[in-house]
Amino acid sequence: MNQKVRGASLCSRCDEPAVVFQRDARRHLCAVHFMADLESRVTDTIKTRRMIMEGDRVVVAISGGKDSTALLLLLSRLLPAWQNVQLIAITIDEGIAGYREATVKAAEDLAHRLGIEYHCIAFPDLFGDSLDVLLKGRETLACSICGILRRKALVVAAQRAGATKLATGHNLDDEAQSVFMNALRGDLPRLIRNSGADSKGRFIPRIKPLSFISEKEIAAYLVLKNAWNELPECPYTRYALRREVRSILSDFEYRHPGTMLHLMESKEKIERSCAGPLFSAPLRTCRTCGDPSSGDLCQVCLLLRSLGR
């Protein structure tokens, strides 16, 4: 039975007022126990999946938004659990007018406050123009084009920094949305892809320490850490399929707590079932840039060719 004081629920672990209700676990947590629980779950995700190992040089992709802000805060706090591990913060400035200026500054300020090495790479330096210019007349394709080029920019940044791991702030909502979208498309290769697997040096493994932490929990953590920033939203999100999927899954999660976690668990079961040469095509080498690719040309080179670059 939930205890209450003046209408406020008490923490399930102590007598302090609760600040969070975890609907899937059906428990209330105070600020102290919530932050300890979240940090413990992130640590467990990293350790059980061997995301970070002794001696790793981890590049953290930080956009300035809430997820990457929480990721950098958490990794900097949890770092003593691993020996001889370095963090480097990297921001990709796509060149989106009226949006990127504020988020890049927020990312840089956070890295400097935490005393973490920081670098910023801009689209024009890699692809010749800003995203705004590249998208002229192609605005409805914004998320697809940006996603392909951002991934390439992060790889370049990680390679320049000598990274052994590339950490991104993808949360439970993001991952569940991706599973749902790939299932809707019938895209089995993307559904079972594991970007964190050992590639025997062909690419830098990506890790997602927040992949079992919900978007709402991340927001609550930032508020409690006094790290919440009101920043503008990317103007191109209105074209994204993900926006519609996000709304559908949020509704499902509210009515059926645990839906997103179950999607993630299903993905992992499918990955294990589909392991082996029958389902995984061998990696080839892009004949233009030399990056790992499933065909003669990688996604980036195909895209740049279609853009006339």
Using one digit for the tens of pLDDT, what is the confidence trace for 125-165? 999 999 999 999 999 899 889 999 999 999 999 999 999 99
If residue 122 lies in a helix (H) or strand (E), which one and from where to where? strand 117-122
Rounded Cα distance between 26 and 22, Å, is 5
**268: nearest Cα among 227, 208, 204:** 208
- Look at residue 197 in the predicted model and tell me its pLDDT: 55
Listed by start position, the domains of the chain span 1-41, 49-275, 277-309
Residue 89 has pLDDT above 90, yes or no: yes
For residue 175, what pLDDT band results from cuts at 50, 70 and 90? Answer: very high
Tokens of 99: 């949006």
| More confident site: 239 or 32 | 32
Q: What is the CATH number of domain 49-275?
A: 3.40.50.620
User: Do residues 99 and 232 make contact, with C-beta atoms less than 8 angstroms apart?
Assistant: yes
- Look at residue 293 in the predicted model and tell me its pLDDT: 82
Rounded Cα distance between 60 and 45, Å, is 16
Give me the percent of the chain exceeding a pLDDT of 70. 91
Looking at every residue in the chain, the average pLDDT score rounds to 88
AA identity, residue 214: S
Tokens of 270: 């499918």
For residue 280, what pLDDT band results from cuts at 50, 70 and 90? Answer: low
Residue 283 has pLDDT above 90, yes or no: no
- Look at residue 7 in the predicted model and tell me its pLDDT: 55
